[in-house]
Amino acid sequence: MIANGLMDTLQIVILVLVAAGALVVVRTRDRVRLVLVLSVYGILLAVLFFAFQAPDVALSEITVGAVALPLILLLAIAKVRKPEP
Amino acid sequence: MTPRQRLVLFAVAVTGLVGCYLWAFSGLPGFGNYPGPYGQAILAHAITQTHATGVVSAINFEYRGFDTVGEEFILFTAAAGMSVVLRRLRNERKDPPEQLEAAAARDVPRTSPAVRGVALLLVAPTVVLGWWLGTHAQTNPSGGFQGGVVLATAFMLVYLSGDLRTARRLRTETVVDAAEAIGAGGFAAVGVTAVALGFPYLYNFLPLGKIPGSVSSSGTIALISLLVGIEVAAAFVAIIGELLEQSLIVRQPTPAPPSQPQPASPPQPEGTD
């Protein structure tokens, strides 16, 4: 029972963290900072999936949400920013 | 539409949405309650049927292997599309190889020694982790997709720890393209081989191995995972490398072509980038 209670608490905490993280992502205006926040949000989501017993999905989320997507976004931002004079 | 009308419309819409949402929500099965029949059936039979203890991989590469082939080719097509869209345009110029030095010198501010050192330290563990993930799909939570992305990250670490030239040597286009083709084609070929042997497409025709849960067990599941890993790693290296080239080497002509009028952009907060 205690283990169950702990798990429930962990799941509630991580759900609240993910919701807060999503708000932070939406509220971030600076492009580069947004990408970094998005990457942290990907890790939060991965912890969520892990806490809900889906380690496979957590792994995919880490690789895609926290690594591959931010990397591609950063490279795209680097390409479209104004060239230095 | 006046702001007031818009507000009224919004209020009506949001009330309807919240109402329907809560109504639908009240009909959902309870938290953690799984009513479907397939999960229980798969859990009861997957390990004896496939000798793979990584049941998620068994589902991905065997029970619904046909969907996974499609997903694999989504990524393949994405990488191909990226290469087509990001090809060198007529009005762009690419610095000749000897000017790569200059491209590397444009990298201001220079990468700090801390970043370079950490990236260098991480290359080997990243390669090992990626290889391990890609080759152990049959035994534990992992798989070719995750392994492939991790392997591609190693390429990015090489760029961070060294410079553009080192990374470009790694990203020999013939090797990356060949790896991508082998990975994607190999997956499809495993399926066709099963058909040639008289089984359904993607049937697990290889010996399953004696011990469920050992690395050599699970027949085609392990093989397909490895092929997916090769394909994904190559596709991501191709995509990231293509973007890297775009950002660092390909230059647009200094006076912007007048045919493209600057669209009036909404006021955007300026980033520090």
Contact between chains at B142 and A59 (C-beta distance less than 8 A): yes
What does the pLDDT read at residue A6? 87
Domain coordinates of chain A in residue numbers?
2-80
For A63-82, b where at least 16 C-beta lie within 10 A, e where not — what string? bbbbbbebbbbbbebebeee
Running DSSP on this structure, what letter comes out for residue B94? E
Contact between chains at B243 and A72 (C-beta distance less than 8 A): yes
What does the pLDDT read at residue B263? 53
Mean pLDDT score across all residues of chain B: 83
What does the pLDDT read at residue B17? 97
The two three-digit tokens of residue B259, written as one number: 């045919």
Contact between chains at A72 and B246 (C-beta distance less than 8 A): no
Q: Do B123 and B154 form a contact (C-beta atoms < 8 A)?
A: yes
Spatial separation of the C-alpha atoms in residues B149 and B75, rounded to whole Å: 12
What does the pLDDT read at residue B162? 73
Q: A with B: how many residue pairs have Cβ under 8 Å apart?
A: 61
CB-based contact, B146 to chain A, within 8 Å: yes
Smallest Cβ–Cβ distance between B149 and the set A68, A76, A81 belongs to A68
For B90-114, b where at least 16 C-beta lie within 10 A, e where not — what string? eeeeeeeeeebeebbeeeeeeeeee
Spatial separation of the C-alpha atoms in residues B105 and B48, rounded to whole Å: 58
Residues contacting B54, CB < 8 A, separation 6+: B136, B137, B138, B139, B140, B141, B142, B143
pLDDT per residue as tens digits for the range B73-125: 999 999 889 888 887 766 666 655 555 556 655 555 667 888 888 988 999 99
What does the pLDDT read at residue B208? 87
Q: How many angstroms separate the CA of residue B273 from the nearest CA in chain A?
A: 6
Spatial separation of the C-alpha atoms in residues B130 and B148, rounded to whole Å: 6
The two three-digit tokens of residue A28, written as one number: 């971030």
| H helix or E strand, kind and range, residue B250 | strand B250-251
Spatial separation of the C-alpha atoms in residues B63 and B198, rounded to whole Å: 18
Give percent of chain A above pLDDT 90.
61
Residue at token pair 């589902």: B59
The two three-digit tokens of residue B154, written as one number: 């190693």
pLDDT per residue as tens digits for the range A55-82: 999 999 999 888 889 988 988 888 787 6
Contact between chains at A59 and B243 (C-beta distance less than 8 A): no
The two three-digit tokens of residue B42, written as one number: 């798969």
More confident residue, B62 or B252: B62
Report the 3 state secondary structure along B132-147.
HHHHCCCCCCCCHHHH
Q: Is the peptide bond before B255 cis (omega within 30 degrees of 0)?
A: no
CA-CA-CA-CA torsion for B38, B44, B48, B50, nearest 10 degrees?
30
pLDDT exceeds 80 at position B217: yes
pLDDT exceeds 90 at position B248: no
Spatial separation of the C-alpha atoms in residues B93 and B249, rounded to whole Å: 9
pLDDT per residue as tens digits for the range A12-67: 999 999 999 999 999 999 999 999 999 999 999 999 999 998 999 999 999 988 88
Residue at token pair 């499809």: B188
Q: Full-prediction pTM beyond 0.90? A: no
Distance of CA A56 to the CA centre of its chain: 16
Q: How many angstroms separate the CA of residue A79 from the nearest CA in chain B?
A: 4
pLDDT band at residue B213, thresholds of 50, 70 and 90? confident
Spatial separation of the C-alpha atoms in residues A38 and A69, rounded to whole Å: 9
Q: Do B220 and B61 form a contact (C-beta atoms < 8 A)?
A: yes
pLDDT exceeds 60 at position B244: yes
CA-CA-CA-CA torsion for B35, B38, B39, B43, nearest 10 degrees?
140
Q: Give chain B positions within 8 Å (CB) of A81.
A: 271, 273
What does the pLDDT read at residue B226? 93
CB-based contact, A64 to chain B, within 8 Å: yes
CB-based contact, A27 to chain B, within 8 Å: no
CB-based contact, A32 to chain B, within 8 Å: yes
CB-based contact, B79 to chain A, within 8 Å: no
The candidate with the shortest Cα–Cα distance to B200, out of B186, B212, B208, B190, is B190
pLDDT per residue as tens digits for the range B141-185: 888 899 999 999 998 888 888 767 777 777 778 888 899 999 999
Q: What is the ipTM of this complex?
A: 0.83
Q: Do B148 and B134 form a contact (C-beta atoms < 8 A)?
A: yes
| H helix or E strand, kind and range, residue B93 | strand B93-94
pLDDT exceeds 50 at position B271: no
Q: How many angstroms separate the CA of residue B91 from the nearest CA in chain A?
A: 16
